[in-house]
Structure 1
Amino acid sequence: MHTTVFHSAELPQTERLARFDDFLLHSDHPMRITAPDPGPFEATARALDLGPVNIVELTCSPSLVRRTPAMIRAADPELCSMVFPRRGALVVTQAGREALLGERDFALYDSSRPFSVRMAGRGPVTLVRAHVPRALLPLSARHTDRLLGTRLPGQEGMGALLTTFLGDLAADRVRRTTADIDRLSTVTLDLLAATLAHHLDTGPRLPDESRRRTLLASVEAFVQEHLSDPDLSPRDIAAALHISVSYLHRLFRSRDTTVTELIRGLRLERARSALTDPRLRDVPVHRIAADCGFREHAAFTRAFNAAYGMPPRDWRRQAPRVPRG
């Protein structure tokens, strides 16, 4: 569940920087923050805990976060973290390297080594940070150390799947069951490991089951991103992930479903959610269906009725009007 863990607007302006510095200093891996202009400082941090995986979305005024050797001696949970900017730019420094990150670039850093993260620019920066226990990654520190403090591309390929997946999780406000949290934690670990292995060219060292789960998660992330395209097909998905169509179908046989059923199910779930969104109450049902990738309204109505036991218009009328946060 998402939790706002720090919100500077609730504090007097003169105390905001000091209070956020204290918040970071007393985190599980202590850090300190300084800002070139502490007067108008603002920071809002929201966290999502997925078991051993922690994801934070932070919007912050230009500033510098540092972790020093003394802080490492005080507390080191041995975390492996990745970070990327959603707005603005970041400079990540570790292991004698410096990475300038633009939108969707990402970098890796380790809580056991000194590092700094600078939020650059004139306006607030929004970043997403995910950290996992290093012991849970199926890659040795000897390999991952080669990536610390380097810019890794997140606009395409494995990097795009990882940043899109984490960005969507950070932005989502949906309440999740314990089982969902466990599954998302596993997917996050697998996707991070697969992305790092890709950049290290150590893909074959990942366990077969981990690679399979990562590919399945990648398929779902790609489908979610392209649901509005009525022509989305297994061939498109396979081409995007650089696998054959036959291998894609074999992956889904292990789940006792098909790629086509996944696409239809995700489209229906998105439509069902949209029909209960009060912000969309004036949008016609046929428009929602089209936005979810259904080419024919009649086919959408039949599929929705078969999945949820009533036509979409009836669903919209009877569903509670729960505001989306």
Structure 2
Amino acid sequence: MEKVFDSNDFPARDALSAWEKATADAVMPTSPKLIGTDVFRGWLSTMPLGAVQLSAMAYSSYLTRRTPRLIRASDPEILAVGLTNSGTHVIEQHRHRAALQPGQLLLFESSRPFETYADGGNTLIQFPRALLPLPAGHVDRLICRPFPGDQGLGRLLADFLIHLTDDGPTYTSHDAARLGTLGLDLVTATLAHFLEREDDVPCDSRQRVLYLRITSFIERHLGDATLDAAEIAAAHHISVRSLHRLFQQHGVTVRSWVRGRRLERCRRDLADPSKRHVPIHAIATHWGYPQADVFSRAFRAHTGMSPSAFRDGSCAAGGR
């Protein structure tokens, strides 16, 4: 993520006009107006992902409009899905009005006028409308219609946006196009689900989304020591053979992926000073390793160190 605007970098009288320019360049041109205050506070960070872009932002109370005049002057012809992170957001577009709660998702577009009252924070994924492989007339039915980000595919999309924002510094430029494709796949699958048109989603997109759904399921059940391929496959209504084939397409086996994620969670907790008081065996058991000797061998093979030596080294490094 690259920060492209911070109100602290401008005199108070110039902050709103600077925000207007920054959002016009990074998202789309709009006309903002302060509500209940004379000073604008906010920030905006962006991450280009090929033809897709991720934006994270926060702002004080303001009203923004995208007018017919602004559309005639500049229309990038994009669709955007916003995840409300905090605060109050009310938007009107396409003859609909939505009052969003934190955790909800909403689709809007650049080619129709809209008006938004906003105070809080938002994460946005935007992309050219032409890239969405769903019939335009059907997509229009979802514009300015909130949908949940805490269940099903909505949750998967919301988690993807949050993790991408939080983990942005760990990604390289080579990851950008792949992540953009995954983001568009998730948006497509989520919208198709709410339209009940899953068959419109291209086969390769469905496969990539299925892989994300399965890995997300595994992440939520890492602490279950009995988790195996049969249970994972059954939870997603596919055969065990299809599950193994799907993971092979990503260059891993189901067992190695689960083992790697468990060991990474253990490594993270052992390096956390706030968990110094938690016994090693308790951490291992929490992440699906109830047998101490099995965990110790696996952890040494993964890191080259015993769990106790790794924890001691991490705490000593943190104390310097």
TM-score range, shorter chain: 0.7 to 0.9
Which runs of no fewer than 5 residues in structure 2 stay unpaired?
A: none
Q: d(CA) in 1 for partners of 2:75 and 2:17?
A: 23
Change (3 A) 1:9 1:321: farther
Q: Deviations over 1:65-105 (max 9, x none)?
A: 32112212222222110012122232232211122221222
Taking structure 1 as the reference length, the TM-score comes to 0.84
Deviation at 1:226, TM superposition (A): 4.1
Match of 1:90 in 2: 89
Task: Tell whether the 8 Å contact from 1:86 to 1:128 is kept in structure 2 after alignment.
Answer: yes
User: Matches of 1:142 and 1:256 in 2, distance apart?
Assistant: 39
Displacement of 1:199 after TM fit? 1.3
CA RMSD of aligned residues (A): 3.0
- Corresponding residue for residue 76 of structure 1: 75
1:118 matched to which residue of 2?
117
1:243 matches 2:242 = no
Say if 1:277 and 1:321, in contact at 8 Å, map to a contact too.
Answer: no
Distance in structure 1 (CA, Å) of the matches to 2:288 and 2:251: 24
Which ranges of structure 1 fall in alignment gaps of 5 or more residues? none
2:102 alignment counterpart: 103
1:148 Cα deviation after fit: 0.7
Aligned residue for 1:55, secondary structure, equals: strand
Q: In 1, are the aligned partners of 2:20 and 2:29 still within 8 Å (CA)?
A: no
Q: Do the aligned partners of residues 205 and 25 (structure 1) sit closer, same or farther apart at CA in structure 2, a change above 3 Å counting?
A: closer
2:262–2:288 CA contact under 8 A, matched in 1: yes
Tell me if the contact between 1:268 and 1:304 (Cα under 8 Å) persists in the aligned partners: yes
* Match of residue 66 from structure 2: 67
Q: Distance in 1 between matches of 2:3 and 2:278?
A: 31
Q: SS of the residue aligned with 2:32?
A: strand
Which residue in 2 is equivalent to 1:155? 150
- Residue 134 of structure 2 aligns to a residue whose secondary structure is coil
State which drifts further: 158-167 or 302-311: 302-311
C-alpha distance after superposition, 1:277-309 (max 9, x if no partner):
677677665555455443334323222222333
Letter paired with 1:200: L
Name the stretch that deviates more: 61-70 or 305-314: 305-314
Quick check: 2:281–2:290 contact (8 Å CA) kept in 1? no
CA distance in 2, matches of 1:95, 1:191: 23
1:134 aligns with 2:129: yes
Deviation string 1:214-246 (CA, Å, 9 cap, x unpaired) is: 110222233334434545444664565x42353
Aligned-partner SS, 1:106: strand
How far apart, in 2, do the equivalents of 1:170 and 1:44 lie? 14
Aligned 1:179-194 pairs, distance under 5 A: 179-194=174-189
**So what's the TM-score if we normalise by structure 2?**
0.85
- The structure with the larger Rg is 2
Q: Who is 2:31 aligned against?
A: 32
DSSP 3-state at the match of 1:87: strand
Q: Which moved more, 1:217-226 or 1:248-257?
A: 248-257
Deviation, structure 1 residue 27: 3.8
Change (3 A) 1:126 1:305: same
The residue number in structure 2 matching 1:258 is 253
